[in-house]
Amino acid sequence: MPALAVLSLSGCMGVFADDRSSISLGSHVRGALLHPVALPFEGPGYEVHPDWRPRDCRYATEEVARWLADVFREVVDRFPDSIAFLGDISGRRGGDVAMHRSHASGRDVDVFYYACDDAGRPLRDLPAMLHFGRDGRAERWSLGRGGRGPKQPVPQARFDARRNWALVRAMLSTPGAEVQWIFVHHALAALMLAEAERQGTDPAIIGRARVLLHQPTNSQPHDDHMHVRLFCDPADRPLGCNDKGPVRWLKKHWKYMRVSQASALRL
Ligand SMILES: [Zn+2]
């Protein structure tokens, strides 16, 4: 017999059979995570950066974890030597995460930008995130807690538009989770969109990317990493998952996501 659990958050209450499946609760700012999945430190096409591992912020909903693994696999299938460094997702129970205002409910993901040398070869073993300038050149190390950065000089590196676009494209075409935003610096978004045009990517995907690649106005410009925010899984909404922000133009998608009127009103 499954145990019954009573859930109460932000005025939402429900009774459900606790089958140990994951639930994202609340919003990306004030939220929690029940029965999450821990992303393995390494998988096809990605690894949690060694400096991020002790933070233990690699927990997500089942849907986001599966989707993320599929996304990285898609990129490495396309570019066999692509290993993305993963930063923070959420803590084991969700809630506040040091150095973040969001990441509270298993639906925010930080990914280092892929970097390459001038010949297009991927640069691995980077000790920290790199800040990239408007022209895509690596300018300086991103500083961690206490304002400290790596001692070694910044390498001759540039923003790897091919791989970064492959990642965005995979995020926008992999089923299982729905992207709400991809926070990136606008100049780096432009480099990826130019790459997409150059490749002759499906205009529908480019159109979505133009909307979803977004430089936030109320936080850092995201010139050193990509921050992806996923919508609540439809099954989590009636249980208290709360999407903040716009319901956009994806009418069909939104219809298929079965958003309830009650949760739509909270947006
Ligand atoms: Zn983030």
Q: What is the pLDDT of residue 96?
A: 80
AA letter at 146: G
The rounded Å distance from CA 31 to ligand 1 centre is 15
Q: Per residue of the chain (267 residues), what is the pLDDT tens digit?
A: 334 444 444 445 556 567 889 999 999 989 999 999 999 999 999 999 999 999 999 999 999 999 999 999 999 999 998 999 999 999 998 888 777 788 989 999 999 999 999 999 999 889 999 999 999 999 999 987 677 889 899 999 999 999 999 999 999 999 999 999 999 999 999 999 999 999 999 999 999 999 999 998 777 889 999 999 999 998 898 889 998 887 665 555 555 555 544 444 443
User: Which sign does the torsion angle of CA 151, 157, 161, 166 carry?
Assistant: negative
Q: What is the pLDDT of residue 8?
A: 45
Q: What is the pLDDT of residue 99?
A: 77
Give the residue from 249, 250, 243 showing the smallest Cα distance to 229.
243
Give the residue from 85, 106, 86 showing the smallest Cα distance to 95.
106
| Extents of the domains making up the chain | 3-265
Give the residue from 35, 31, 29, 32 showing the smallest Cα distance to 17.
35
Q: Enter the pTM of the model.
A: 0.87
The rounded Å distance from CA 131 to ligand 1 centre is 15
Give the residue from 197, 219, 218, 216 showing the smallest Cα distance to 206.
197
Give the residue from 105, 113, 135 showing the smallest Cα distance to 237.
105
The rounded Å distance from CA 200 to ligand 1 centre is 30
Would residue 103 be called left, alpha or beta, if left means φ above 0 and alpha means ψ between -120 and 50 degrees? left
pLDDT digits (tens, 9 = 90+) for 138-161: 999 998 767 788 989 999 999 999
The rounded Å distance from CA 6 to ligand 1 centre is 31
Q: What is the CATH number that goes with domain 3-265?
A: 3.30.1380.10
Beta bridge partners of 26: 31, 241
The rounded Å distance from CA 189 to ligand 1 centre is 17
Q: What is the pLDDT of residue 220?
A: 81
AA letter at 190: A
